[in-house]
Protein backbone atom coordinates (compact mmCIF):
# COMPACT_ATOMS: atom_id res chain seq x y z
CA UNK A 1 0.00 0.00 0.00
CA UNK A 2 1.31 3.45 -0.88
CA UNK A 3 2.18 5.92 1.83
CA UNK A 4 -0.74 8.37 1.95
CA UNK A 5 1.00 10.84 4.24
CA UNK A 6 2.21 13.94 2.42
CA UNK A 7 4.23 17.01 3.34
CA UNK A 8 2.74 20.47 2.90
CA UNK A 9 4.26 23.69 4.21
CA UNK A 10 5.90 22.26 7.30
CA UNK A 11 3.31 19.63 8.16
CA UNK A 12 2.90 15.90 7.54
CA UNK A 13 -0.76 15.11 7.03
CA UNK A 14 -3.08 12.70 5.20
CA UNK A 15 -3.33 13.33 1.47
CA UNK A 16 -7.06 14.03 1.65
CA UNK A 17 -6.42 16.79 4.17
CA UNK A 18 -3.76 18.59 2.11
CA UNK A 19 -5.21 21.82 0.71
CA UNK A 20 -3.85 24.93 -0.98
CA UNK A 21 -5.42 28.32 -1.69
CA UNK A 22 -7.03 28.98 -5.07
CA UNK A 23 -4.84 32.11 -5.10
CA UNK A 24 -1.65 30.03 -5.14
CA UNK A 25 0.41 31.08 -8.14
CA UNK A 26 1.12 27.45 -8.97
CA UNK A 27 -2.63 26.96 -9.46
CA UNK A 28 -3.24 30.25 -11.29
CA UNK A 29 -0.11 30.50 -13.45
CA UNK A 30 1.86 27.27 -13.17
CA UNK A 31 4.43 29.50 -11.43
CA UNK A 32 6.55 26.80 -9.84
CA UNK A 33 8.96 23.95 -10.32
CA UNK A 34 8.99 20.26 -9.44
CA UNK A 35 11.38 17.37 -8.99
CA UNK A 36 11.00 13.59 -9.09
CA UNK A 37 13.44 11.47 -7.07
CA UNK A 38 13.37 7.66 -7.14
CA UNK A 39 14.16 5.72 -3.99
CA UNK A 40 15.22 2.10 -3.63
CA UNK A 41 14.85 0.24 -0.34
CA UNK A 42 14.28 3.44 1.57
CA UNK A 43 17.20 5.43 0.15
CA UNK A 44 16.87 8.36 -2.24
CA UNK A 45 18.73 7.72 -5.51
CA UNK A 46 21.29 10.34 -6.58
CA UNK A 47 19.88 12.79 -4.05
CA UNK A 48 22.63 15.42 -4.45
CA UNK A 49 22.22 15.49 -8.24
CA UNK A 50 18.46 15.92 -7.92
CA UNK A 51 19.01 18.74 -5.43
CA UNK A 52 21.39 20.46 -7.83
CA UNK A 53 18.75 20.31 -10.58
CA UNK A 54 16.12 21.60 -8.12
CA UNK A 55 18.36 24.52 -7.21
CA UNK A 56 19.03 25.33 -10.85
CA UNK A 57 15.31 25.29 -11.64
CA UNK A 58 14.56 27.58 -8.69
CA UNK A 59 17.34 29.97 -9.69
CA UNK A 60 16.06 30.13 -13.25
CA UNK A 61 12.60 31.25 -12.14
CA UNK A 62 14.09 33.56 -9.47
CA UNK A 63 12.65 31.73 -6.49
CA UNK A 64 14.67 31.26 -3.31
CA UNK A 65 15.14 27.66 -2.18
CA UNK A 66 13.06 27.34 1.01
CA UNK A 67 15.29 24.63 2.52
CA UNK A 68 18.89 23.50 2.70
CA UNK A 69 19.85 20.14 1.23
CA UNK A 70 20.05 18.69 4.72
CA UNK A 71 16.53 19.89 5.48
CA UNK A 72 15.21 18.51 2.20
CA UNK A 73 16.80 15.13 2.96
CA UNK A 74 15.16 14.98 6.38
CA UNK A 75 11.75 16.07 5.04
CA UNK A 76 11.71 13.66 2.11
CA UNK A 77 13.21 10.64 3.86
CA UNK A 78 10.41 10.76 6.41
CA UNK A 79 7.91 10.07 3.61
CA UNK A 80 9.64 6.85 2.50
CA UNK A 81 8.92 3.33 3.65
CA UNK A 82 11.85 0.98 4.25
CA UNK A 83 11.18 -1.44 1.39
CA UNK A 84 10.20 -1.44 -2.26
CA UNK A 85 10.84 0.96 -5.12
CA UNK A 86 9.28 4.37 -4.61
CA UNK A 87 9.59 7.92 -5.83
CA UNK A 88 9.21 11.34 -4.29
CA UNK A 89 7.34 14.06 -6.13
CA UNK A 90 8.08 17.52 -4.75
CA UNK A 91 6.79 20.87 -5.92
CA UNK A 92 7.63 24.46 -4.98
CA UNK A 93 5.48 27.37 -6.14
CA UNK A 94 5.86 31.11 -5.61
CA UNK A 95 3.07 30.90 -3.06
CA UNK A 96 -0.23 32.62 -2.35
CA UNK A 97 -0.58 36.17 -3.68
CA UNK A 98 -3.17 38.74 -2.54
CA UNK A 99 -4.36 39.23 -6.14
CA UNK A 100 -3.98 37.69 -9.58
CA UNK A 101 -1.17 39.66 -11.21
CA UNK A 102 1.47 38.39 -13.63
CA UNK A 103 4.22 40.35 -11.83
CA UNK A 104 5.91 38.68 -8.86
CA UNK A 105 4.11 39.42 -5.59
CA UNK A 106 6.10 40.85 -2.70
CA UNK A 107 6.75 39.00 0.56
CA UNK A 108 5.00 35.72 -0.22
CA UNK A 109 6.04 32.42 1.26
CA UNK A 110 6.60 29.60 -1.25
CA UNK A 111 4.22 26.67 -1.19
CA UNK A 112 6.12 23.41 -0.66
CA UNK A 113 4.48 20.06 -1.30
CA UNK A 114 5.92 16.54 -1.40
CA UNK A 115 4.47 13.05 -1.60
CA UNK A 116 5.72 9.50 -1.99
CA UNK A 117 4.33 6.91 -4.43
CA UNK A 118 5.26 3.38 -5.39
CA UNK A 119 7.12 2.87 -8.66
CA UNK A 120 5.00 0.59 -10.83
CA UNK A 121 7.26 -1.23 -13.32
CA UNK A 122 6.59 0.16 -16.79
CA UNK A 123 4.90 -2.47 -18.93
CA UNK A 124 7.12 -1.91 -21.96
CA UNK A 125 10.48 -1.75 -20.20
CA UNK A 126 11.59 -5.24 -21.19
CA UNK A 127 9.65 -5.69 -24.43
CA UNK A 128 10.05 -2.21 -25.92
CA UNK A 129 7.62 0.49 -27.02
CA UNK A 130 6.48 2.44 -30.05
CA UNK A 131 7.37 6.11 -30.46
CA UNK A 132 6.73 8.79 -33.05
CA UNK A 133 8.34 12.10 -33.97
CA UNK A 134 6.49 15.39 -33.46
CA UNK A 135 7.51 19.03 -33.82
CA UNK A 136 8.84 20.46 -30.54
CA UNK A 137 6.31 23.20 -29.77
CA UNK A 138 7.45 23.93 -26.20
CA UNK A 139 8.96 27.07 -24.70
CA UNK A 140 12.67 27.90 -24.72
CA UNK A 141 13.49 27.03 -21.11
CA UNK A 142 13.12 23.26 -21.26
CA UNK A 143 16.09 22.81 -18.89
CA UNK A 144 13.88 24.23 -16.10
CA UNK A 145 11.73 21.53 -14.49
CA UNK A 146 8.69 23.80 -14.46
CA UNK A 147 5.16 22.76 -13.57
CA UNK A 148 3.91 24.41 -16.78
CA UNK A 149 3.72 21.15 -18.74
CA UNK A 150 0.71 21.75 -21.00
CA UNK A 151 2.76 21.55 -24.22
CA UNK A 152 4.36 18.27 -23.06
CA UNK A 153 0.94 16.89 -22.13
CA UNK A 154 -0.56 17.70 -25.53
CA UNK A 155 2.42 16.17 -27.37
CA UNK A 156 2.36 12.98 -25.28
CA UNK A 157 -1.40 12.68 -25.73
CA UNK A 158 -1.06 12.99 -29.49
CA UNK A 159 1.44 10.13 -29.44
CA UNK A 160 -0.75 7.99 -27.15
CA UNK A 161 -3.71 8.44 -29.48
CA UNK A 162 -1.54 6.98 -32.26
CA UNK A 163 -0.73 3.91 -30.18
CA UNK A 164 2.71 5.17 -29.09
CA UNK A 165 4.22 5.38 -25.62
CA UNK A 166 6.13 8.60 -26.28
CA UNK A 167 6.56 11.56 -28.60
CA UNK A 168 10.13 12.19 -29.74
CA UNK A 169 10.40 15.94 -30.19
CA UNK A 170 12.12 17.53 -33.18
CA UNK A 171 13.22 21.14 -33.59
CA UNK A 172 14.57 22.39 -36.92
CA UNK A 173 15.30 18.84 -38.04
CA UNK A 174 17.13 17.79 -34.87
CA UNK A 175 15.90 15.61 -32.02
CA UNK A 176 15.71 17.26 -28.59
CA UNK A 177 14.10 14.74 -26.20
CA UNK A 178 10.85 12.93 -25.47
CA UNK A 179 7.78 14.69 -24.10
CA UNK A 180 8.69 13.23 -20.69
CA UNK A 181 12.05 11.57 -21.27
CA UNK A 182 15.58 11.95 -22.56
CA UNK A 183 16.62 10.09 -25.69
CA UNK A 184 19.57 7.89 -26.61
CA UNK A 185 20.44 6.26 -29.93
CA UNK A 186 23.02 3.71 -31.00
CA UNK A 187 24.36 4.86 -34.37
CA UNK A 188 27.30 3.12 -36.04
CA UNK A 189 28.08 1.37 -32.76
CA UNK A 190 28.23 4.59 -30.69
CA UNK A 191 25.73 5.47 -27.96
CA UNK A 192 24.67 9.07 -28.61
CA UNK A 193 22.48 11.52 -26.70
CA UNK A 194 21.90 15.25 -27.35
CA UNK A 195 24.12 17.55 -25.27
CA UNK A 196 22.70 19.54 -22.38
CA UNK A 197 21.19 22.86 -23.40
CA UNK A 198 18.11 24.97 -22.74
CA UNK A 199 16.27 22.67 -25.17
CA UNK A 200 16.36 19.56 -22.95
CA UNK A 201 15.83 18.65 -19.32
CA UNK A 202 19.13 17.56 -17.76
CA UNK A 203 18.02 14.08 -16.77
CA UNK A 204 19.63 12.36 -13.79
CA UNK A 205 19.13 8.92 -15.36
CA UNK A 206 20.73 10.31 -18.51
CA UNK A 207 23.84 11.25 -16.54
CA UNK A 208 24.02 7.85 -14.83
CA UNK A 209 23.91 6.10 -18.21
CA UNK A 210 26.81 8.21 -19.50
CA UNK A 211 28.83 7.44 -16.36
CA UNK A 212 28.16 3.72 -16.74
CA UNK A 213 29.12 3.86 -20.42
CA UNK A 214 32.41 5.55 -19.56
CA UNK A 215 33.26 3.12 -16.76
CA UNK A 216 32.48 0.08 -18.92
CA UNK A 217 34.22 1.28 -22.09
CA UNK A 218 31.00 1.56 -24.08
CA UNK A 219 31.59 4.06 -26.91
CA UNK A 220 29.41 7.13 -26.33
CA UNK A 221 29.08 10.73 -27.40
CA UNK A 222 27.03 13.80 -26.53
CA UNK A 223 26.11 15.38 -29.86
CA UNK A 224 23.11 16.56 -31.81
CA UNK A 225 21.06 13.89 -33.56
CA UNK A 226 19.15 14.72 -36.72
CA UNK A 227 15.79 13.08 -37.26
CA UNK A 228 17.25 11.54 -40.41
CA UNK A 229 20.12 10.01 -38.42
CA UNK A 230 17.77 8.76 -35.72
CA UNK A 231 15.85 6.80 -38.33
CA UNK A 232 19.06 4.89 -39.16
CA UNK A 233 19.81 4.03 -35.51
CA UNK A 234 20.24 0.37 -34.60
CA UNK A 235 18.77 1.12 -31.15
CA UNK A 236 16.71 3.96 -29.63
CA UNK A 237 16.09 4.38 -25.88
CA UNK A 238 13.95 6.68 -23.75
CA UNK A 239 15.07 7.41 -20.19
CA UNK A 240 13.50 8.90 -17.07
CA UNK A 241 13.71 8.57 -13.30
CA UNK A 242 10.69 6.30 -12.85
CA UNK A 243 10.70 4.40 -16.18
CA UNK A 244 14.50 4.05 -16.22
CA UNK A 245 15.67 2.87 -19.69
CA UNK A 246 12.95 1.99 -22.20
CA UNK A 247 13.91 0.48 -25.57
CA UNK A 248 12.00 1.76 -28.61
CA UNK A 249 11.25 -1.10 -30.98
CA UNK A 250 9.18 0.88 -33.47
CA UNK A 251 9.72 4.50 -34.50
CA UNK A 252 7.58 6.37 -37.01
CA UNK A 253 6.05 3.05 -38.11
CA UNK A 254 9.47 1.49 -38.81
CA UNK A 255 10.94 -1.40 -36.81
CA UNK A 256 14.01 -0.64 -34.70
CA UNK A 257 16.50 -3.41 -33.87
CA UNK A 258 14.32 -5.96 -35.60
CA UNK A 259 11.36 -5.02 -33.41
CA UNK A 260 12.96 -6.10 -30.13
CA UNK A 261 15.32 -4.63 -27.52
CA UNK A 262 18.89 -4.52 -28.82
CA UNK A 263 22.11 -5.91 -27.34
CA UNK A 264 23.48 -2.55 -26.19
CA UNK A 265 20.27 -1.93 -24.26
CA UNK A 266 20.45 -5.42 -22.77
CA UNK A 267 23.95 -4.71 -21.49
CA UNK A 268 23.18 -1.20 -20.26
CA UNK A 269 20.01 -2.26 -18.48
CA UNK A 270 21.93 -5.00 -16.67
CA UNK A 271 24.65 -2.53 -15.65
CA UNK A 272 22.08 0.07 -14.59
CA UNK A 273 20.20 -2.40 -12.38
CA UNK A 274 23.49 -3.46 -10.77
CA UNK A 275 24.37 0.21 -10.18
CA UNK A 276 21.01 0.79 -8.48
CA UNK A 277 21.64 -2.13 -6.16
CA UNK A 278 25.08 -0.78 -5.26
CA UNK A 279 23.65 2.61 -4.31
CA UNK A 280 20.84 1.44 -2.04
Please state, in angstroms and rounded to a whole number, the distance separating the CA atoms of residues 209 and 255: 24
Which candidate in 107, 145, 171, 196 is catalytic? 145
- 145 carries an active-site annotation: yes
Please state, in angstroms and rounded to a whole number, the distance separating the CA atoms of residues 210 and 202: 12
Give 244's strand partners: 240
Q: Which of 183, 150, 179 is nearest to 162 (CA)?
A: 179
The helix or strand, by DSSP H or E, that contains position 35, with its residue range, turns out to be strand 32-40
Q: Which of 57, 18, 22 is nearest to 36 (CA)?
A: 57
Please state, in angstroms and rounded to a whole number, the distance separating the CA atoms of residues 63 and 75: 19
| First CA to last CA distance, the chain | 21
The residues, ordered by sequence, that sit 6+ positions from 39 with a Cβ below 8 Å of its Cβ are: 45, 80, 85, 86, 87, 88, 116
Q: Please identify every residue annotated as catalytic.
A: 145
Amino acid sequence: MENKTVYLNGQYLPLNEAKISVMDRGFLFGDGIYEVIPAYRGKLFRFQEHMERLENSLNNIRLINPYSREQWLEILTALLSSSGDQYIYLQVTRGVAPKRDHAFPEKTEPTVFAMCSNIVPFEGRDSGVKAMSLDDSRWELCHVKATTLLANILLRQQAVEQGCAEAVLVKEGYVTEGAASNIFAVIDGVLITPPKSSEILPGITRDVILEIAKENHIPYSEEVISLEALKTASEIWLTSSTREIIPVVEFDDQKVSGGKPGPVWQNMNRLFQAYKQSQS
